[in-house]
Copies of this chain bind each other. A is one copy, B any other.
Amino acid sequence: MDSRLDGIDEVLLMGPGPSCVPDEVYRALSRKTLGHLDPYFIGIMDDVKRMLQRVMMTGNRLTIPVSGTGSAGMEACFVNLVEPGDRVLVLVNGVFGLRMQDVASRLGAEVDSLEFEWGTPVRVERVAEKLRAADYKIVAMVHAETSTGVRNPAAEVGRLLEGSRSLYLLDAVTSLGGIEVATDAWGVDALYSGSQKCLSTPPGLAPLSFSGRALETVMARKSKVPNWYLDVGMITKYWEGKARFYHHTAPVNMIYALHQALSLILEEGLEHVFARHLENHRRLVAGLEKLGVEMLVEPESRLPMLNSVRIPEGTDDKAVRGRLRADYKIEIGAGLGPLAGKIWRFGLMGHTARPENVDSLLSALKAILV
């Protein structure tokens, strides 16, 4: 029987994720499935934990991939830490900050937020002001706002929270593996990411890390975590210790793929990986300038792995994206929310961040935008 799967093209993934996947990772993904309690598989799980700790720069014991995509990581952080009535401050400057508000509100949190113009970063002095005025159980921010391409001041917000009782929750979905994410040094208590961005694994896993303080907060809850599937107390019993208690069946093959992807990153070396992202970002920005295409974000707040540009006036957004996909097999990202129709988002994440890819995109844009 002819299958639609036979028609899958190799597309150059230069949108906001998923990113290009190295061949070694595809091979890992299709290795023979083992049981989720198999002793050999548990060795693979232990490797993944150790490698995630290195990439996240943390000694947190609770460092695991959650069995879902990046948004499941967000959900897992909030659902474990929030109890009804808890005060949560969310710093919002894009879609993923808004999503945090929604997730926390659904769980009965009293959500307060501080908004910043989309395309600009969170301003630390305004956060400081807010923190002087009220106490929060959780302060939550997106490190790399995928909807705009803005890098938020994660280290600085961490410093503000030093010595406070607030837990620091950081979304590192797009940043992890592309720029420094110093979980422990920044005092982050709950961090999550996604496999399909700079880790260059297909979508399906959400690496997550909880500090000792965050774990104590979970253990001291008055009510059970209102989400059995994402209860980190139970998940930890599967990922830790000698007796591995069955919780849910882990996505075995996805974990193989993540294992391979983390190995590749650590072999290349985190510093080299970050430098590669930066170099390719610079190459892209220089090329875009030549084409007269303007960046949305000011240089000091730009993310190397997510480049938002203003759609040139008079240009048909959809038509350009359609031609890139159809004629050049390149995927780029559209604008979201208030930026829909106004920007494009060019991803240079993980395996996508290579000069030949930057050049392919630039020459395609040059041909289309004449």
The interface residues of chain B lying within 8 Å CB-to-CB of A149 are none
**Would you call B250 and A5 a contact (CB within 8 A)?**
no
Q: Which residues of B contact A17 (CB under 8 A)?
A: 249
Report the Cα distance A249→B195, complex, angstroms. Answer: 10
Question: Residue A287 at the B interface, CB < 8 A?
Answer: no
Question: Which residues from B are CB-within-8-Å of A265?
Answer: none
Partner of A254, one of B28, B40, B47, B204: B204
Partner of A40, one of B7, B70, B204: B7
Check if A99 is an interface residue, CB within 8 A of chain B. yes
CB distance from A286 to the nearest CB of B (A): 26
How far is it, in angstroms, between the C-alpha of A248 and the C-alpha of B99 when the chains are bound? Answer: 11
Within 8 A of B (CB), among A1-42: 1, 3-5, 7-11, 13, 15, 17-18, 20-21, 26-36, 38-40
Q: Within 8 Å CB of A40, what residues of B?
A: 7-9
Please tell me if the beta carbons of A259 and B70 are within 8 angstroms of each other in the complex. no
Query: Of B33, B79, B99, which is within 8 A of A202 by CB?
Result: B33
Stretch at the interface among A212-220, A221-229, A277-285: A221-229
Q: Which residue of B lies closest to A3 (CB)?
A: B263
Do A5 and B260 contact each other (CB < 8 Å), given the known contacts A67-B72, A226-B226, A228-B71?
yes
Q: Smallest distance from the beta carbon of A42 to chain B beta carbons, Å?
A: 11
* A254/B256 in contact, CB under 8 A: no
A21 to B29, CA, bound (A): 13
A252 contacts which chain B residues (CB < 8 A)?
Answer: 18, 202-203
Closest to A260 in B: B5
B102 touches A228 (CB 8 A): yes
Q: How many residues from A make CB contacts under 8 Å with B? A: 76
Whether B47 contacts A4 by the Cβ 8 Å rule is yes
Which residues of chain A (226-277) have a CB below 8 Å from chain B? 226-229, 246-254, 256, 259-260, 263, 267
Task: Tell me which of B5, B18, B256 contacts A33 (CB under 8 A).
Answer: B18
Q: Is A61 in contact with chain B by the CB < 8 A criterion?
A: no
Known: A33-B13, A267-B1. A75 touches B229 (CB 8 A): yes
A331: B residues at CB distance < 8 A: 34-35, 38
Find out whether the CB atom of A263 lies under 8 angstroms from the CB atom of B35.
no
Judging by beta carbons under 8 Å apart, are A21 and B9 in contact?
no
- A257 and chain B: residue at smallest CB distance: B253
Alpha-carbon distance A37/B196, docked complex (angstroms): 14
Q: Is A336 among interface residues, defined by CB-CB distance under 8 A?
A: yes
Task: Please pick, from B3, B69, B251, the residue contacting A250 in the complex, using a CB distance under 8 A.
Answer: B69
In the complex, chain B residues whose CB is within 8 Å of the CB of A69:
67, 248-251
Task: Report if A131 contacts B (CB, 8 A).
Answer: no
Min CB–CB distance A217 → chain B (angstroms): 17
| 3 A-B pairs closest in CB distance | A204-B251, A30-B30, A71-B248
Interface residues of A (CB under 8 A from B): 1, 3-5, 7-11, 13, 15, 17-18, 20-21, 26-36, 38-40, 43-44, 47, 67-72, 74-75, 79, 99, 102-103, 105-108, 194, 196, 202-204, 224-229, 246-254, 256, 259-260, 263, 267, 325, 331, 336
A-B contact pairs, 14 of them (CB 8 A): A4-B44, A4-B47, A5-B260, A7-B40, A18-B33, A18-B36, A18-B252, A20-B33, A29-B29, A33-B196, A39-B325, A75-B229, A203-B250, A227-B227
